[in-house]
Amino acid sequence: MGGKVGVRRKQGQAPHAVNAKAQAAKPAESTRIAKAIAHAGLCSRRDAEAWIAAGRVTVNGKVLASPAFVVAPGDKITVDNKPLPEAQAVRLWRYYKRRGLVTSHRDPQGRKTVFEVLPPDLPRVVSVGRLDINTEGLLLLTTDGELARHLELPSTGWLRRYRVRAHGRVTQEALDRLREGITLDGVHYGPVEARIDREQGSNLWLTISLREGKNREVKRIAEHLGLTVNRLIRVSFGPFALGELAEGAVEEVKRRVLADQLGAKLAEEFGLFEAAKARRGRRR
């Protein structure tokens, strides 16, 4: 379930395009160029590194070749000859992705993407990881690619929980053995928690929880157990749950809630405390 982070854009707009009101971003302090691009919310740091390798990024008029290049306040950064937009305040949303949407900023097959159907008043966002086209449920969206990178890393330790409808039969004993992890076709999957919820005709409903979220992990493990997944819903990602969110709905996570979940050190690093102070100042 991990993979490329997508970027929201309006239909017909290039993924790196800048709002007409945006100005060229100037880093507040010296930082690596890939990190600066991610903070601006254009993409993940990994995608930024690929853009740099492709010669799409310049600093002060010179095309960069290394994502390790350090930019300083006052440097002029462009992506595809467009000024890097100002980084926005860090925000996070819960979104119920429906089946049939691709979690990508651009699909070579022309399929509809998540970012084409988001509400028009939502700012530029990136997704925290991805859900494949036939998976529905909770997808987190944020204005900051660095936050997305932090949240999606397995080292963060956040549990991803799925409701799974699958054709076939399996025993709870077989599911319990997944707690030790499993290697399939040379790919190792870490410990998986799984339980049978109920039977429905020739199908089973399962709850499966994991911490890595590798590509098609749930479906591959199910296939190993002789099951065919016919519906897959992510119901939670770490402390954030799908809850009563309707299909296609978007709901912002309050900044204080996000700060609490990140912890004081990371909340300060991402400027959540500064944003709260600024809001209080405007109310006075």
Catalytic residues: 132
168 secondary structure, DSSP code: S
DSSP code per residue over 245-280: PPTT-EEEEPHHHHHHHH-HHHHHHTTHHHHHHHHH
Q: State the first-to-last Cα distance of the chain, in angstroms, to the nearest integer.
A: 45
**What is the C-alpha to C-alpha distance for residues 149 and 142, in angstroms, rounded to an integer?**
10
Q: Say how many residues make up the chain.
A: 284
User: Which residues contact residue 169 at a Cβ distance below 8 angstroms, ignoring those fewer than 6 apart?
Assistant: 204, 226
For the chain, state the CA radius of gyration.
20
Are the C-beta atoms of 11 and 113 separated by less than 8 Å? no
Torsion (CA) 198, 204, 210, 213 in degrees, nearest 10: -150
Region for 16 from its dihedrals, namely left if φ exceeds 0, alpha if ψ lies in -120 to 50, beta otherwise: alpha
Are the C-beta atoms of 236 and 161 separated by less than 8 Å? yes
> Tokens in use for 190?
């870490």
